[in-house]
Structure 1
């Protein structure tokens, strides 16, 4: 903990990013669905480290999937093999 003077504020409270409660992507509708899902998952485990890791993974996969929907490679009418799709997903997640 570190104390510092901040002009105009007697106190400033901060908390770390919580991947199961904070905005996860730049798409509000998707964030709402993810946050709803995280609340359901929270009922299955109390292990906070696992929940945070799951939240980060799910957010990354969801953001990448949203990105793929607008990629010219995957547009309607294009032939893409399952292997190519998986390779592209793996590359983008790295």
Structure 2
């Protein structure tokens, strides 16, 4: 169940950097997993390892904007903050 501050069963270990009403749900791109595997020379990552609630394929940082809305099942999610990553850091976005 999606709640105001989190998804049922989810906990945030560092509430200063994660959680709250604007960081209740974290989405991470599959391409970012591939990037870090390549950068670190590893192939043992598994979904959820970064702490994300959803791992998505096909939604790059360049395609997602604050205010975008996505429906997953009966829940409507809205992007409230950009995700800082290797691509946002390099692009200045």
TM-score range, shorter chain: under 0.3
Query: What is the TM-score with the length of structure 2 in the denominator?
Result: 0.23
The structure number with the bigger radius of gyration is 1
Higher strand share: 2
Query: What is the TM-score with the length of structure 1 in the denominator?
Result: 0.23
Higher helix share: 1
